[in-house]
A and B are shown apart, each in its own frame.
Chain A
């Protein structure tokens, strides 16, 4: 069984394998389609029309499936690789080992905010942004510039205490756990982390920054943490609802898997430490 680990506990070899699998996938042309898919959903998911990847109940199962597909693509290159997660409640500063030259590289520098260290620095020659919202082919980060603080453990626990799973109108104005975790309401967990990293992570093409996967792996782990705290609470809506992915509707773009088949992550992977 694949185990997803805290990035802070990866060995040097695990970091190398993870980074090299990403760089190989990119070089083979398999990485950028993930960026394209994400952006297509983020631009078409709206509060008043069909919404699947974001601002809707399927935010969590959609990203779970998206990460599983990405993890499979990495494992086709290096079978032992699994996605690590970034626990930003503990690794909260730009000098965390996450941002070291052996993993993701550091904050953007200079007047253009370009990431200049690590394997994803444009100058290293292996990370050119091709699916991008603007003319810049290089990765930009502005750690802590657009919002000063990452969510705390207390913030997370506040969101994890919320029930039910989701609530009408099933969008960015909903009460419920999903929207509190996504961050359009309440203490703001997921959205805030995108803003804290800044640069590419703040855009609809956020998977251009590999930290996307480590962030969403943490969000996925928190969903599991919520489930273990509220075993009596299920995915909602349970019945067909216009514009939404209900419990047994298959999700685009895969059209094979419904949220019901993704609620239990343990057939796919486990976490080293449950939240």
Chain B
């Protein structure tokens, strides 16, 4: 893949994420860090990855969040400061002290990145949709 093509792909991804971010800000009062200002072409903010891809037919997205923000009814106690969506539904995630990640779907197994965590959740869900979780 040429360098230009790579850049174009990443720009498209960022625009998609910004679209999602605007929608979330409007509906849920969320504040996303870094997405509203231009960044380098690398899909990462504050050392945390941003991703938006289709994995096994499911759209998975990951993005850093401002502390305490999230979808309605969700809390991020302790601040994972990161949001993962599967087909637009929030996957509750948590970061461990060693930097690894877990989710409500895989709560006893650690993953090195949010993207790996999201893919694992897609595998476990086998097509099922996430349900809103009220804590």
Which residues of A approach B to under 8 Å, CB–CB?
A: 39-40, 42-44, 46-50, 55, 111-113, 132-136, 146-147, 169, 171-173, 183-184, 190-192, 194-195, 198-199, 202-206
Contacts and interface: CB of A to CB of B under 8 A. Distances in A.
A183 B108 CA distance: 9
Contact of B104 (A135, A194, A204): A204
A110 to B, nearest CB: 10
B133 interface: yes
Say whether chain A's binding surface is mostly helix, strand, loop, or mixed: loop
B135 interface: yes
A203 B78 contact: no
Contacts of B107: 42, 194, 202-204, 206
Interface of B: 75, 77-79, 92, 94-98, 104-110, 124-126, 128-131, 133, 135
Nearest to B98: A173
Nearest to A190: B108
Nearest to B109: A195
Nearest to B78: A46
Contacts of B108: 183, 190-192, 194-195, 202, 206
B135 A133 contact: no
Contacts of B106: 195, 202-203
Contacts of A44: 75, 77, 135
Given A39-B133, A111-B126, A171-B97, A203 B109 contact: no
Contact of A47 (B78, B109, B126, B135): B78
Nearest to B106: A202
Nearest to B89: A134
Contacts of B130: 133-135
Nearest to A50: B77
A120 B132 CA distance: 24
6 contacts: A133-B105, A134-B131, A184-B96, A203-B107, A204-B104, A205-B104
A47 B95 CA distance: 8
A45 to B, nearest CB: 8
Contact of B131 (A40, A50, A132, A190): A132
Contacts of A48: 78-79, 97
Contacts of B131: 132-135
A39 B124 CA distance: 18
Nearest to A48: B78
B89 to A, nearest CB: 9
A47 B128 contact: no
B60 to A, nearest CB: 15
Given A43-B135, A46-B78, A111-B126, 18 more contacts: A40-B135, A42-B104, A43-B77, A43-B94, A43-B133, A47-B78, A48-B79, A48-B97, A50-B77, A133-B133, A135-B129, A183-B108, A192-B108, A194-B107, A202-B107, A203-B107, A204-B107, A206-B107
A179 to B, nearest CB: 10
Contacts of B96: 47, 55, 172-173, 184
A203 B94 CA distance: 13
A172 B97 contact: yes
A43 B126 contact: no
